[in-house]
């Protein structure tokens, strides 16, 4: 986890946010704060309200109650100056297949008064060698790099990433994570929605879990949902076969096993609850389903 001061200025402040679709409540009195410079991940099953929440933060959708400020401004009433301070990378794009990569970036650069140099930007996202390639010929990972280039070309203070690595192979996903870390290290605040629990654990400074339009918990990945206090499963092979113990002091228990066996315990494994374990437990307890409000 990158060091972030608890007193860092908030980039996003949400209080009592409500959103209705007809009589259906999509968001129930959401309270949320994202500090400047952090990577903040929003997790939840399909229909949990992630997209609605992020679209309100981006200024694309109105709310029905509460207050929302992104960089000190109500997103839905914000003007062009504010929009120049945020970047949005949607889950799917594809409007520029007939242009080459350099043409796409130069075209977008014209929209911003202080746009990054197109050549320097392509180098930053690892697409210099693809400058002359048509956008339609890029691989999935290269396309997402181009999407990020377009999202950050105006030097945004806040960047929204919607499922950025969907469809990536493991190598491409890890390469992309490096790019996201570099952006955060340069001071960009990043709000990330993802279905990949490993992605959230690897990237996020903090994580919010939303189910049924309600925030269940917000915290660092290592402690989310009480993960750090959950019992650990220790297994080994004893004289009469496999044995298993659930314990909150796994280090001490493993040391006792070491002493008992006079060395390594046969077949020793230690399973601490993963972020995925805790997440599935949380949404299961909340009665989450894969259907509901978008």
Closest CA to 207 of 275, 151, 160, 274: 275
Residue 290, pLDDT score: 39
Q: What is the pLDDT of residues 166-182, one digit of tens each?
A: 777 888 888 889 888 98
Cβ-proximal residues to 107 (8 Å cutoff; 6+ apart), any chain: 96, 99
Q: How far is CA 29 from CA 9, 26, 53, 187, in A?
A: 23, 10, 11, 29
Closest CA to 152 of 110, 102, 192, 108: 108
Task: Report whether pLDDT(291) > 50.
Answer: no
Dist CA 173 CA 268 (whole Å):
32
Task: Report whether pLDDT(105) > 90.
Answer: yes
Q: What is the pLDDT of residues 257-287, one digit of tens each?
A: 989 899 888 999 888 888 888 888 888 877 6
Quick check: 221 and 275 in contact, CB under 8 A? Answer: yes
Dist CA 22 CA 1 (whole Å):
41
Task: Report whether pLDDT(43) > 90.
Answer: yes
Q: Which two tokens stand for residue 267?
A: 């077949």
Q: What is the pLDDT of residues 228-262, one digit of tens each?
A: 777 788 999 998 899 999 888 888 988 999 898 99
Residue 93, pLDDT score: 59
The mean pLDDT of 104-125, rounded to a whole number, is 91
* Whole-number percent of the chain with pLDDT over 90: 52
Q: What is the pLDDT of residues 53-74, one digit of tens each?
A: 999 999 999 999 999 999 999 9
Residue 288, pLDDT score: 43
Q: What is the mean pLDDT of the chain?
A: 87
Q: What is the pLDDT of residues 195-219, one digit of tens each?
A: 888 999 999 999 999 999 999 999 9
Dist CA 135 CA 103 (whole Å):
10
SS (H, E, C) the chain: CCCCCCCCCEEEEEEEEEEEECCEEEEEEEEEEEECCCEEEEECCCCCCHHHHHHHHHCCCCCCEEEEEECCECHHHCCHHHHCCEEEECCCCCCCCCCEHHHHHHHHHCCCCCCCCHHHHHHHCCCHHHCCCEHHHCCHHHHHHHHHHHHHCCCCCEEEEECCCCCCCHHHHHHHHHHHHHHHHCCCEEEEECCCHHHHHHHCCEEEEEECCEEEEEECCCCHHHHHHCCEEEEEEECCEEEEEEECCHHHHHHHHHHHHCCCCCCCEEECCCHHHHHHHHHHHCCCCCCCCC
Dist CA 178 CA 75 (whole Å):
29
Closest CA to 54 of 219, 276, 208, 221: 208
The mean pLDDT of 178-187, rounded to a whole number, is 90
Q: What is the pLDDT of residues 151-162, one digit of tens each?
A: 999 999 999 998
Residue 14, pLDDT score: 97
> Rounded to 5 degrees, what are φ and ψ at 18?
-130, 145
Residue 115, pLDDT score: 92
Residue 294, pLDDT score: 40
């Amino acid at each position: 986890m990158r060091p972030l001061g608890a007193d860092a200025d908030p980039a996003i402040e949400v209080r009592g946010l409500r959103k209705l679709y007809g009589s259906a409540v999509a968001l129930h009195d959401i309270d949320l704060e994202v500090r400047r410079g952090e990577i903040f991940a929003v997790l939840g099953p399909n229909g949990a309200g992630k997209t609605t929440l992020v679209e309100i933060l981006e200024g694309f959708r109105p709310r029905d109650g509460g207050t929302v400020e992104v960089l000190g401004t109500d997103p839905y009433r914000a003007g062009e100056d504010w929009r120049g301070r945020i970047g949005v990378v949607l889950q799917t794009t594809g409007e520029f297949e007939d242009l080459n990569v350099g043409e796409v970036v130069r075209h977008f650069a014209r929209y911003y008064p202080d746009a990054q140099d197109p050549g320097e930007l392509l180098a930053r996202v690892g697409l210099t060698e693809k400058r002359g390639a048509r956008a339609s010929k890029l691989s999935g990972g290269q396309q997402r790099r181009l999407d990020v280039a377009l999202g950050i070309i105006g030097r945004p203070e806040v960047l929204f990433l919607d499922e950025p690595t969907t469809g990536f192979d493991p190598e491409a996903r890890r390469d992309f994570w490096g790019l996201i870390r570099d952006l955060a290290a340069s001071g960009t605040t990043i709000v990330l929605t993802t279905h990949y629990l490993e992605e959230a654990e690897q990237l996020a400074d903090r994580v919010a879990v939303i189910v049924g339009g309600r925030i269940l918990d917000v915290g660092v990945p290592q402690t989310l949902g009480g993960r750090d206090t959950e019992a650990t499963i220790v297994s080994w092979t004893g004289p009469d076969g496999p044995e298993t113990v659930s314990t909150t002091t796994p280090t001490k228990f493993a040391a006792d096993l070491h002493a008992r066996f006079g060395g390594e315990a046969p077949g020793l494994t230690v399973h601490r609850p993963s972020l995925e374990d805790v997440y599935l437990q949380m949404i299961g307890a909340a009665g989450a389903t894969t259907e509901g409000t978008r």
